[in-house]
Structure 1
Amino acid sequence: MPRLSKKFWFQLHGWFSLPVWILFCFICVTGTVSVISHELTWLTNSDARASNPYNLPAKPIAELITAVEQQFPTADVTSVLTYESYLVNAVVFTDTDKPFAVAYVNQYSGEVQAVYQTISFIEFMRTLHGWLFFPWQEGYSIGYYLVSAMAFVILGALITGLVIYKNFWRAFTQPKLRFNQGRKTLLKDLHTLSGVWSIWFMLIMSLTGLWYLVQAIMWHNEIDIEEHAPTVSVTELPNTQQAPLTDLSAALAITKAKFPDFEPSYIMLPEHNRGMYNIMGRGDTIFYDDYAFSTAINPWTGEIAASKSPASMTAVQTLSHIADPLHYGTIGGIWTKIIWFIFGCILSGMSITGFMMWQSKRTKVTPAVQQQSTLAETTN
């Protein structure tokens, strides 16, 4: 078998990025912004800040819902989202003149600070990065496939880059960045140095991206990763129009009793008399996402109809719940977010410097190619 030349590997390295350069760069940039979208929301939107000058404890979520219902008597609250302690809770509801609305409620003061009828900046960036706002139809989105497929671009660029640059580990002990030898040399040094220091980051992005692709294929083929939320049996419904015996506060208490370190992140209220409280949140594990712990509480009996935690997950469910913290760098709070943001900027910059290097070489080679082409035509 003939040995593949360095020129071949270099060309292959380029082709893993250049044909989809704009899309790849865009996905890198939006993903980088998504990592700190919560912090950017706090900086840019005063309505989203959960100010607490008197160090008050957080109010029960049921009280926050009551605050919204008092301001909008005909509102139908469907769900509640909680974020970091410095951001308000988001109470999602519908009303006669609001098909979709989100109330930003300060969990310390109980004040409704704002009401929006559009998605938040956090959701906007996650959607833009996750599936480019392509619509979902029959369990799949073309955009989700496009974004997930970028995992092959990152992995291919990583492997070919390591083949091209022999002894790459020297960039850790003897980093080389030459500013006085021209633009081409500086671009090459920047690209090489960034690539070597980003090996771990590119590996995480490519592996989590491949999982997202597998997940998309499973969704498309109706292969369930999580069990569907249960509904109340008809036989358990009361004969009269009485109110449910278990309210939201009791349902949260039941969940807390089952998972002592539980902190809610998403609560879905019953949509009808057979619906349940679907409560999801985080626990004492750093590698799992904010939905790793969950319960489905029967509002009529107070029983836990279904529950989930890392201890009870299948291997596929585990992958599903650890992918996001690794992909977005939330495993260590703000400090790992900062690291992920920095290396996201580096990866975005690598796509730009790689294109500039290719463009520079193309500009240099093109006149010679054109001259050879003209000479050939004259000869013929």
Structure 2
Amino acid sequence: MTPATRSLRRWGLVHKWTSLICTLFMLMLCITGLPLIFHEEIDDLLHSQVKPAEVPAGTPSANLDQLLSNALKHAPGEVPHFLVWDRDDPNAMFVSVGKSITSDPSQNRFIRMDTHTAAFLDAPDVTGRFTYIMLRLHTDMFAGLAGKLFLGLMGILFCVAIISGIVVYAPSMRKLNFGAYRSKRTRIVRWLDLHNIAGILLVMWTLVVGFTGVINTWADLVVKLWQFGQLAEMTAQYRDRAPPAHLASLHSAVDVAAKAVPGMQPSFVAFPGTILSSKSHYAVFLRGNTPVTSRLLKPALIDAETGQLTDTRDMPWYVSTLFISQPLHFGDYGGMPLKVLWALLDILTIVVLVTGVYLWMRRRKSGVSVERAIARPAAIEASVAAS
């Protein structure tokens, strides 16, 4: 056996086992990810919501202190964690409330408010929605951080399977045209060709989606790293300071942040004591105005007692990488054409995964190894015919 043959066999084993271990989970992720590409359209179709009042263009936003006060009237006994501008509807905002300032924000309720009139719109319970269930399955399988990290591991195996598949696929094409489909050969050879064609055409997309998916599973760890790194540095002088007895104006804090970071607009505010701020600050996160920069956030810390700017910095590279990977993973930054493209590529990935499982089952039945199946398709036909 030549060194090249031994190397190909090793790569074949890597491709086989990484694929087998991650395939079922990748199928689950592809199936649940498909409706998530169109989550906004699905929610609009399945769920009605109160529309904000129609106002003339240029109408100023309502005072945020009044808006917050109106929202909390519909959340007795609860406290605000975040104030969020609706990215898809500039006429609506969300107030995220929890049972206490230290409660788990993943259990928060969202109160939807009219941006211009400060009127209450609704407080939808999204936990029973189809898209919410798909999202939880896709991100952590309802298993929290452990589920995220496990799916991240499956994503790494998926990327290794893709790379090893390229290595294994290359020698089989020496005597065939690129992307050849042998329609007159036996079924298993046709399935092998379909698997190879779809797989090689999807290499770049699957690597991008797989790698960004892995990054997204580290989101909780990235937030913790930012908390104990940059955020701790920005608030070091306030570490021993008691929480403010009275909070400064929220509306003024947002204005101060917007003036400190010109060319950007508020995306959300984290209240003092929440996981994205200190006990002494409003953390106003601002975003850019282009499809790419709108995904990048810059925090401005406003002293919650005096209303003065404490610090503002660009996010570290690892946080920016996370911000960019999230929309890239779901293809939700280029409008409907990109969503349709992402959906088609997702379906083709399902084809690759299903054909891969089929080929493994057939090879196991016929006793033909992965290496021989790819390098000598004729051996497959003989084995299958005899089985």
SS at match of 2:272: coil
What SS does the corresponding residue of 2:266 show, helix, strand or coil? strand
Confirm or deny: 8 A CA contact 1:151 1:209 kept in the other structure.
yes
Give the CA RMSD over aligned residues.
4.2
Asked if 1:30 is matched to 2:55, the reply is no
Separation of aligned partners in 1, 2:224 and 2:279: 28
Residue 377 of structure 1 corresponds to which residue in structure 2? none
Asked whether the equivalents of residues 181 and 194 of structure 2 are also in contact (C-alpha less than 8 Å), the reply is yes
The 1:184–1:27 alpha-carbon spacing in structure 2 relative to 1, beyond 3 Å, is same
Structure 1 residue 285, shift from structure 2 partner: 5.4
TM superposition shift of 1:158? 1.6
In structure 2, what is the equivalent of residue 341 of structure 1? Answer: 343
The SS at the match of 2:170 is coil
2: CA distance, partners of 1:322 / 1:164: 32
Cα shift readout 1:299-345 (whole Å, capped 9, x = no counterpart): 32222223233xxx443343333332333334435443443333233
Distance 1:85 1:12, change over 3 A: closer
Contact 2:288 2:296 in 1 (8 A): no
The match for 1:378 is none
Amino acid at match of 1:278: A
Structure 2 letter corresponding to 1:155? C
2:230, 2:25 → 1: CA distance?
31
The separation in 1 between residues aligned to 2:304 and 2:93, in whole angstroms, is 23
Equivalent position of 1:351 in the other structure? 353
How has the CA–CA distance of structure 1 residues 117 and 205 changed in structure 2, closer, same or farther, with 3 Å as cutoff? Answer: closer
Bigger CA drift: 157-166 or 324-333?
Answer: 324-333
Runs of 5+ unmatched residues, structure 1: 136-140, 367-380
Conservation of the 8 A alpha-carbon contact between 1:149 and 1:209: no
More deviation, 284-293/229-238: 229-238
Moved over 6 A (4+): 167-170, 213-223, 233-238
Mapped contact 1:30–1:125 kept (Cα < 8 A):
yes
Asked if residue 68 in structure 1 is aligned to residue 71 in structure 2, the reply is yes
Q: Please point out which of 292, 300, 304 is paired with 1:295.
A: 300
Corresponding residue of 1:318 = 320
Q: Which runs of 5+ in 2 are unaligned?
A: 101-106, 369-387
Aligned match of 2:110: 102
Instruction: Give the distance between the partners of 2:254 and 2:178, measured in 1 at CA.
Output: 55
Give 1:277's aligned residue. Answer: 282
Aligned to 1:196, the other structure's residue is in SS state: helix
Q: Check if 1:187 corresponds to 2:195.
A: no
Matches within 5 A, 1:83-232: 83-86=86-89, 88-94=92-98, 100-107=108-115, 110-116=118-124, 119=127, 124-135=133-144, 141-166=145-170, 183-209=187-213, 211=215, 224=228, 226-228=230-232, 230=235
- Alpha-carbon distance in structure 1 between the residues aligned to 2:87 and 2:226: 33
Query: Which residue type is aligned with residue 275 of structure 1?
Result: S
Output the amino acid matched with 1:302.
Answer: G
For 1:360, the equivalent position in structure 2 comes to 362
> In the aligned structure 2, how far is the partner of 1:74 from the partner of 1:358?
57
Q: Quick check: 2:83–2:93 contact (8 Å CA) kept in 1? A: yes
Q: Which residue of 2 aligns with 1:3?
A: 4
Matches of 2:156 and 2:71 in 1, distance apart?
46
Alpha-carbon shift at residue 355 of structure 1 (Å): 1.0
**Aligned 8 A contact 1:225 1:316 in 2:** no
CA shift for structure 1 position 258: 2.0
C-alpha distance after superposition, 1:52-101 (max 9, x if no partner): 666665734725434323445655333222333348533222479xx943
Aligned residues: 350
Task: Give the residue type in structure 2 aligned to 1:145.
Answer: L
Partner Cα separation in structure 1 for residue 53 and residue 192 of structure 2: 50
Contact 1:267 1:277 in 2 (8 A): yes
Task: Provide closer, same or farther for how the CA distance between residues 214 and 105 of structure 1 changes in structure 2, counting only shifts above 3 A.
Answer: closer
One-letter amino acid of the counterpart of residue 249, structure 2:
D
Query: Does 1:78 pair with 2:86?
Result: no
After alignment, is 197-206 or 318-327 more displaced?
318-327
Distance across 2 between alignment mates of 1:174 and 1:295: 53
Q: 2:41 aligns to what?
A: 39
Distance 1:182 1:114, change over 3 A: farther
Shift of 1:176: 5.0
Amino acid in the other structure paired with 2:86: Y
What percent identity do the matched residue pairs reach? 18
1:308 equivalenced with 2:313 (yes/no):
yes
Q: Cα deviations across residues 197-251 of structure 1 (Å, max 9, x unaligned)?
A: 211112213433554577777789999454247385777988xx7x54x412111
Alignment counterpart, residue 260 of structure 2, candidates 258, 263, 266? 258
Give, in whole Å, the separation in 2 of the partners of 1:217 and 1:250: 32
CA distance in 2, matches of 1:217, 1:208: 15
- Change beyond 3 A, Cα 1:361–1:225: farther
Aligned residues of 1:191 and 1:350 also touching (Cα < 8 A): yes
Residues 348 and 90 (structure 1 numbering): CA distance in 2 closer, same or farther, change over 3 Å?
Answer: farther
Task: Find the aligned partners of 1:12 and 1:210 in 2 and give their Cα distance.
Answer: 19
Shift of the 359–106 alpha-carbon distance from structure 1 to 2, 3 Å rule, reads: farther
State the one-letter code of the partner of 2:330. Answer: Y
For 2:159, what is the secondary structure of its paired residue?
helix
Q: TM-score, normalised by structure 2?
A: 0.72
The alignment partner of 2:123 has SS state of: strand
TM-score by length of 1: 0.73
